[in-house]
Structure 1
Amino acid sequence: MKIIVISGSAHANGASTYLADRFVAGSTAAGHQVERYNVVDHQTNFVMVAENEDPIPQDDDGAQLLNKVVAADLVVLVTPVYYYAMSSLLKTVIDRFYEVNEELKQADKRIMMMATAYDPDEHVFDSMKINYRQLVNYLGWHDAGTVWDHGALTHPQIDQYGQQAYDLGARLRD
């Protein structure tokens, strides 16, 4: 299976990176082809749309990423929570999906979401869960699993959620 893991965190060694690393380790061990795309390491401009609703091409790394998303069987979104939502880095990438919207909506793909929050209250993810369900439904993709890591900076919990991320990757079947 071809997998693209899109990380939307500016914190290079943070909890979101840890979850992404654990997922990559599990899915690689299961024999899948995994590519990692850390948004902070690339220039990805905002989506621009002309008056006729056509996307305006951007001079950035976005087209390269979109090609990888189109080619992938599974798209994994990884983000910290900022003010009850995904990071603006990840949201910018998802907005760019508009450029290949019809291709993505016609594709038989799977999607996963992994999110981390410092807040120990699991309700910190409520609005993100709604947004994620809406994205899955809009694209017509199949939800392949989620990890919602609240209290992400406490090591026993991060290890627990890291194991969940690893297991999600390790249990994937084509």
Structure 2
Amino acid sequence: MKIVVITSSAHVNGASTYLADQFIEGATDGYNDIYHYNAVDHQNNFVMVDEDNQAISQHDDIDHLLDKIKAADLVVMVTPLYYFGMSSLLKTIVDRFYDYNNELRGNKQAVMIATGAGSVNTAFDSLKIHYKQIIDYMHWINAGAIWDLKALAHPAIDRYGQEAFKLGQKFTAGN
């Protein structure tokens, strides 16, 4: 299985990075081809369109990622919660799907892993709706999600780390 994991946190060694690492470790076997793309390490420009509603070529690092997503069976989006939504780094990547919608649609599974620090049980509601709208529009199948509202708090991070590992294991050849 070809898996693309997109991380998008500016927090080095933060909770979302930890959960992404746990997912990758769980999904690692001799059969999966896992590509990890950390948006922090790349130059990705915002989507731009001309007056005819055609995407304007950006000449940045995202074309390589989009080629990987085109070939992927599973796309894993990992983000910290910023003002009730995904990070701007991940949003920029999702917006860049625009130029490749037809090539990216269908025949993929998707996973969302999101982390936040708070006590409001509704904090993820907007992101959950956005994620569902993205995968519905792309005709992708929701293969799971982790909504960690207690980011970096022990023992919650350990519980969510185990959950991420088990979710990754779901995509190994033995399962």
Q: In which range does the TM-score fall when normalised by the shorter chain? A: over 0.9
Structure-2 residue corresponding to 1:147: 146
Structure-2 residue corresponding to 1:157: 156
Compute the displacement of 1:113 (Å): 0.2
Q: More helix per residue: 1 or 2?
A: 1
Q: Are residue 64 (structure 1) and residue 54 (structure 2) matched?
A: no
String of CA shifts for 1:43-74, please: whole Å, max 9, x gaps: 00001111111111112101111111111110
| Structure 2 unaligned blocks of 5 or more | none
| Structure 1 unaligned blocks of 5 or more | none
Compute the displacement of 1:168 (Å): 0.7
* SS in structure 1 at match of 2:146: strand
Equivalent pair of 2:31/2:172 in contact (CA under 8 Å): no
Structure-2 residue corresponding to 1:47: 47
| TM-score, with structure 2 as normaliser | 0.95
Structure-2 residue corresponding to 1:120: 119
In 2, distance between residues paired with 1:148 and 1:122?
10
In 1, distance between residues paired with 2:120 and 2:150?
7
Structure-2 residue corresponding to 1:104: 104
Structure-1 residue corresponding to 2:8: 8
* SS in structure 1 at match of 2:81: strand
String of CA shifts for 1:146-174, please: whole Å, max 9, x gaps: 00001112021011111111101101257
| TM-score, with structure 1 as normaliser | 0.96
Name the Cα RMSD after superposition. Answer: 1.2
Compute the displacement of 1:122 (Å): 2.8
In 2, distance between residues paired with 1:15 and 1:30?
27
In 1, distance between residues paired with 2:151 and 2:55?
37
Q: What amino acid does structure 2 have at the position aligned with 1:139?
A: M
Q: Are residue 82 (structure 1) and residue 101 (structure 2) matched?
A: no
